[in-house]
Structure 1
Amino acid sequence: MPQTPPPDRPEGAAIPPLDDFLCFALYAAGHAMTRFYKPLLDPLGLTYPQYLAMVALWEKGERTVGELGEALGLESSTLTPLLKRLEAMGHVVRARDSKDERVVRVRPTDQGMALRERAAAVPGCLFAASGLSLDELVSLRRQLVVLRRALETEPGAADG
């Protein structure tokens, strides 16, 4: 259903100002999140995507590359180099499944598990810096999950 443009929009302007775009707010927030985490993760030797992969592995202990990709929303072509770097650092081990060699399993090493202890304070830093209450953060996260799921199930969403 077409909406009436706001009074401050020039006549005939088809596209609203950039700051009115939800997609831009999410994009900018994502970049801000990555920048926020960088100084927290540098002492751990991790990038933000590597940290998320480790969190997913700490949670389950072992996952297939496919399961990890699904949890992180990453394609195998993006995830594989990330896992190779984590393996080279000694944080994870990748191995072919003994029953199905097409499947690669990933698990944290003892060193990777020890990293969990060093990273324990990281999540609380975001809470402290956000200026939001715990209820507000939980609500925001819930809304973002609902939005993501709606967009993923929208026809054409997989087409990019």
Structure 2
Amino acid sequence: MTETAAGKRRIASLKAAPNSPDVADIGRSLPSFIFTNNICICKLMSTKNLQMQLSRWAISMNRLVSACNSCNKTGSKRLYRLTNSLPYLLNRVGVRMGELFSRRIARYEITLPMYRVMAALWQQGDQRLGDLAAMTSLELSTASRLIGALKRKGLVSRKRLEDNARTVAINLTTKGKLLVEELIPIAIHFEEVAIRSLPKDGLANLKSVLAQIYTDLGTIEPEIAEAETRQGKARR
């Protein structure tokens, strides 16, 4: 078999593989320079040069097919983007709001966590430390330290309930109540600025959704407990 005949067979085999799993309809995908006026280019160039050209073309096609396969695999999955995830966006808003509000109330010598504790007590008095910590999403030890700091400022009081001497009730003092009532309008203003682009009923809907999200996240607790149990057993 001559080199020219081998070259012809090489091209013929490529054109005869339209259903190849690697390249779809490869015959139609051949570069236009392979044929000139329906005359196979193998008649116009040496077999060696033809084979080199075909080899380069095959490598390029393999790269293209590999890229397409990778794209198809990725496209079948939901792409994760940190900056578009709900936890990231919620935290971003919370951090921004907290930073601005902290700066605004700094002249009152009150921190944001202190304000939250005071606002919680203004909303509901006679609270136990554990309930107050849960309401403000604080660790029990952190809530205890905050109550101590607020008590030293004369903003809260602690007293044992008459009907249950073992329970200590926490309340705002008169001074604390006056201060928090001065701070609450500032907090309301911040909220109004934050949601002013929402539709009329947008705030109510947003708050309802956030409350539901918080409730739904509780279903993850059993998963975490199970994982922690398995991890504990693996360490033994």
The Cα offsets for residues 5-29 of structure 1, whole Å up to 9 and x where unpaired, read as xx7x967998622112111111211
**Closer, same or farther: CA 128–73 of 1 in aligned 2, 3 Å:** closer
Which of 36, 40, 46 pairs up with 2:104? Answer: 40
2:221 match: secondary structure: coil
Which of 26, 50, 54 pairs up with 2:90? Answer: 26
The Cα offsets for residues 37-70 of structure 1, whole Å up to 9 and x where unpaired, read as 1122213222111111111101122211122122
Q: Per residue, is there more helix in 1 or in 2?
A: 2
User: In the alignment, which residue of structure 1 is the partner of 2:207?
Assistant: 141
Q: Which runs of 5+ in 2 are unaligned?
A: 1-70, 229-236
* Larger RCO, structures 1/2 (Cα 8 Å, 6+ apart): 1
The 8 Å contact of residues 152 and 158 in structure 1, kept in 2 or not, is answered as: no
- Residue 125 of structure 1 and its aligned partner are, at CA, apart by 1.5
The 8 Å contact of residues 37 and 48 in structure 1, kept in 2 or not, is answered as: yes
Q: TM-score, normalised by structure 1?
A: 0.79
Q: Give me the whole-angstrom Cα distance separating, in 1, the residues matched to 2:128 and 2:97.
A: 27
The more displaced of 131-140 and 87-96 is: 131-140
Which of 154, 160, 163 pairs up with 1:90? Answer: 154
Which of 160, 175, 180 pairs up with 1:111? Answer: 175
Which of 109, 120, 125 pairs up with 1:56? Answer: 120
CA RMSD of aligned residues (A): 2.8
**Residue 132 of structure 1 pairs with residue 132 of structure 2:** no
Q: TM-score, normalised by structure 2?
A: 0.56
- Residue 137 of structure 1 and its aligned partner are, at CA, apart by 2.0
Which of 125, 131, 139 pairs up with 1:67? Answer: 131
Give 1 or 2 for the bigger CA radius of gyration.
2
Q: Which runs of 5+ in 1 are unaligned?
A: 1-6
